[in-house]
Amino acid sequence: MGVRHFLSLEDLSLDELWAVLDLAASVKATPEKYAHALNGKSLAMIFQKKSTRTRVSFETGMFQLGGMALFLGASDIQIGRGESIADTARVISRYNSMIMARVYGHDVLEEMAAHATVPVINGLSDALHPCQVLADLQTMRERFGDIRGLTFTYVGDGNNMAHSLMLGCARAGVNVRIAAPSGYEPDAAYVAAARSHGQVTGAEVMVMNDPMAAVADSHVVYTDVWASMGQEEEQAQRLIDFEGFQVNGRLMSAANNDAIFMHCLPAHRGEEVSAEVCDGPQSVIFDEAENRLHAQKALMLFLLGAG
């Protein structure tokens, strides 16, 4: 097989997805075993949008594997002056072992991958955020062991997180419900893709508009910001449109007693989640953030054939 990219969870076969998650657990348990696995390798990280977790976890992860990472703000490199994505990808491929990019349009990543001769990793696009979902599946496995057959409910905007969570859960055999306000449902193409994965794994994929009904019998309740990066000017309207979709104590009490609360972060307490839930005993948000480090180390080892 040629160069492997990771633009979507769908870029890993089902066996590979479980193998990367197993490797992530091993990397977390015994990081010293992998301390020199990527000696001499480097990761170029291109950011069109802001980041805390993605930037810090990838950069630290590469260091912990014996390699190094370069932070490249999109406005600081020649892309900001109009150099093409294709040429940028070709050039960076001559220097670095991998490219990670956080972009607006998903097509930017596809173009990068089409021209790069090294693996391209999606560090978030307007459409998908698959690295977060690797960390989230790792977190769910830590809490529940075998996650197949669980019910996962996402409450909020049908955004990049909703899309990747649907794909990741359906592929992992986790039933997934998305409860979004009318008009903010996930993209139909991703719903259809998740349903087709669900047919293989037995996972059911439902899109609903009633958060209370959606969380019933759920093992996991997940939410994300109501206005994503690039949607700042819609914030005021979204505050109105998402009324009733806050994950708070009342909503959590409709889920299973031992349900966990998840959020990719950054969180807006008082908007999509109450402080009581976000900082309460059911919350695993900082485990998710930590697992970005371990899951992405595993992903990079896998993409470079070093796992």
Tokens of 303: 């993409």
Distance CA 216, CA 173 (A): 19
Distance CA 299, CA 94 (A): 21
Distance CA 127, CA 27 (A): 28
CA–centroid distance for 132 within its chain: 2
Closer of 131 and 203 to ligand CP (Cβ): 131
Binding site partner of 122, from ligand NVA, ligand CP, none, Cβ cut-off 5-8 A by kind: none
Query: 142's torsion region: left (phi>0), alpha (psi -120 to 50) or beta?
Result: alpha
Strands (E), 48-122: 68-73, 98-102, 120-122
224 catalytic? Reply is: yes
Q: One of 4, 5, 53, 102 is an active-site residue; which one?
A: 102
The least CB distance from residue 149 to ligand NVA, in Å, is 27
DSSP 31: G
107 catalytic? Reply is: no
Binding site partner of 175, from ligand NVA, ligand CP, none, Cβ cut-off 5-8 A by kind: none
The least CB distance from residue 53 to ligand NVA, in Å, is 7
Tokens of 123: 């560090």
36 catalytic? Reply is: no
Q: One of 4, 5, 106, 129 is an active-site residue; which one?
A: 129
Binding site partner of 159, from ligand CP, ligand NVA, none, Cβ cut-off 5-8 A by kind: ligand NVA
Site for ligand NVA in 196-225 (CB under 6 A): 224-225
268 catalytic? Reply is: no
The least CB distance from residue 257 to ligand CP, in Å, is 27
Closer of 132 and 139 to ligand CP (Cβ): 132
CA–centroid distance for 252 within its chain: 23
Rg (CA), the chain: 19
- Residue 272 sits in the site that holds ligand NVA (CB under 6 A): no
Site for ligand NVA in 96-135 (CB under 6 A): 124, 129
132 catalytic? Reply is: yes
For 140-176, letters b (16+ CB in 10 Å) and e give bbeebeebeebbbbbbbbbbbbbbbbbbbbbbbbbbb
Closer of 132 and 283 to ligand CP (Cβ): 132
Closer of 212 and 265 to ligand NVA (Cβ): 265
Q: One of 224, 246, 278, 282 is an active-site residue; which one?
A: 224
Give me the sign of the Cα torsion angle 56, 62, 63, 65: positive
264 catalytic? Reply is: yes
Helix (H) or strand (E) holding 178: strand 175-179
The least CB distance from residue 52 to ligand CP, in Å, is 3
Q: One of 4, 5, 171, 292 is an active-site residue; which one?
A: 292
**Residue positions annotated with a catalytic role:** 102, 129, 132, 224, 264, 292
